[in-house]
Amino acid sequence: MSWLRNRFSKAHRSRKESSHQIQLRGPETQEAGSPTPANETLFQSFEWHTPGGHWTRLSATLQTYADLGITSIWLPPGCKANQPDGNGYDCYDLWDLGEFDQKGARSTKWGSREELRELMAKANDLGIGVIWDAVLSHKTAGDSTEECWAVEVDPEDRRIETTKPRKIEPWIHYSFPGRGDKYSSMKWHWQQFNGTDWDQRAERHAIYKIIDPPDAKGKRPPKGHRKDWAPDVDDEKGNFDYLMFTNIDYSNPEARRDVMDWGAWMVSPEVGVAGFRLDAFKHVSWHFARDWTAHVKAARPDRDVFVVGEYWSGNVETLIKWVDRVGHGAYAYDAPLLNNMSALSLAASKRPSSLTAPPVIDMRSQLFKNALVTARPRNAVTMVTSHDTWQGQMLETPVAPWFKPLAYALVLLRRDGRPCVFYGDLHGVRGPFAAPPSCAGKLPLLMLLRRCAAYGEQTDYFDAKTNAGWVRHGTWDRPDGCVVVMSVTGAAKKAMPERYKL
CA angle 198, 199, 203 (to 5 degrees): 95
Residue 116 is which amino acid? L
User: In DSSP terms, which residues pair with 486 in a beta bridge?
Assistant: 22, 468
Per residue, the 3-state secondary structure of 17-67, as one string, reads CCCCCEECCEECCCCCCCCCCCCCCEEECCCCCCCCCHHHHHHHHHHHHHH
Cα separation, 334 vs 314, whole angstroms: 8
Euclidean distance between the first and the last CA atom of the chain, given in angstroms as a whole number: 12
Sign of CA dihedral 263, 267, 272, 273: positive
Closest residue by Cα to residue 383 from 426, 321, 346:
426
CA 104 to the chain's CA centroid: 29
- Catalytic annotation, pick one of 310, 388, 425, 480: 310
Cα separation, 195 vs 173, whole angstroms: 13
User: In DSSP terms, which residues pair with 175 in a beta bridge?
Assistant: none
Q: What is the dihedral of CA 342, 348, 350, 351, to 10 degrees?
A: -170
Per residue, the 3-state secondary structure of 208-268, as one string, reads EEEECCCCCCCCCCCCCCCCCCCCCCCCCCCCCCCCCCEEECCCCHHHHHHHHHHHHHHHC
CB 274 within 8 A of CB 119: no
CB 458 within 8 A of CB 27: no
- Catalytic annotation, pick one of 152, 199, 279, 388: 279
Contacts of 276 (CB under 8 A, 6+ apart): 131, 132, 133, 134, 263, 266, 296, 305, 306, 307, 308
Closest residue by Cα to residue 471 from 24, 103, 51, 5:
24
CB 299 within 8 A of CB 293: no
Cα separation, 231 vs 228, whole angstroms: 8
In the residue annotation, 310 being an active-site residue is answered as: yes
CB 98 within 8 A of CB 116: yes
In the residue annotation, 199 being an active-site residue is answered as: no
Cα separation, 80 vs 271, whole angstroms: 15
CB 259 within 8 A of CB 253: no
Cα separation, 92 vs 75, whole angstroms: 17
Q: Which residues are catalytic?
A: 279, 310
